Amino acid sequence: MSKKNQGILCILSAAFFFALMNLFVRLAGDLPTIQKSFFRNFIAAILAFIMLTRSRNKTKLSKDNVKDLLMRSTAGTLGILCNFYAVDHLNIADASMLNKLSPFFAIIFSMLLLKETATRFEWAMLVIAFIGALFVAKPKFELSSIPALIGLIGGLGAGLAYTYVRKLGTHGIKGPVIVFFFSCFSCIVTLPFLLLDYTPMSMKQFLILICAGFAAAGGQISITAAYTKAPASEISVFDYSQILFAAILGFFFLGQIPDYLSIMGYIIIIGAAVAKWYHSNHIPAKQMDT
Contact 69, 183 (CB under 8 A): no
pLDDT tens, N- to C-terminus, the chain (290 residues): 688 788 889 889 988 999 999 999 999 999 999 999 999 899 989 988 888 888 777 777 888 999 999 999 999 999 999 999 999 998 898 998 888 888 778 778 888 888 877 778 878 887 888 888 888 877 665 666 789 899 999 999 988 988 888 788 778 888 788 889 999 999 999 999 999 989 999 999 999 999 999 999 888 878 777 766 776 666 777 888 888 889 899 999 999 888 898 899 889 988 888 888 888 777 654 454 44
The DSSP string of 74-123 is HHHHHHHHHHHHHHHHS-HHHHHHHHTTHHHHHHHHHHHHS-----HHHH
Query: In angstroms, rounded to a whole number, what is the distance separating the alpha carbons of residues 171 and 61?
Result: 10
Cα angle 92-94-95, degrees, rounded to a multiple of 5 = 60
What local confidence, expressed as pLDDT, does residue 101 receive? 83
**243 is in which domain, residue-wise?**
3-287
Give the separation between CA 24 and CA 84, rounded to whole angstroms: 10
Taking the CB of residue 257, how many other CB atoms lie within 10 A of it? 12
Total number of domains constituting the chain: 1
Name the percent of the chain in helix, strand, coil, to the closest 5.
80, 0, 20
DSSP collapsed to 3 states, 216-275: HHHHHHHHHHHHHHCCHHHHHHHHHHHHHHHHHHHHHHHCCCCCHHHHHHHHHHHHHHHH
- Is residue 22 within 8 A of residue 93, CB to CB? The reply is no
H/E segment holding residue 183: helix 175-196
For residue 286, what pLDDT is reported? 45
User: CA-CA distance, 121 to 104, in Å (whole number)?
Assistant: 12
Q: Which pLDDT score, from 0 to 100, does residue 228 have?
A: 67
Phi, psi angles (nearest 5°) of residue 237: -60, -30
The structure's pTM equals 0.83
Q: Which residues of 124-154 are buried (b: 16+ CB within 10 A; e: fewer)?
A: ebbebbbebbebbbeeeeeeeeebbebbbbb
Nearest-angstrom CA–CA distance, 287 and 179: 37
- What's the pLDDT score for residue 144? 63
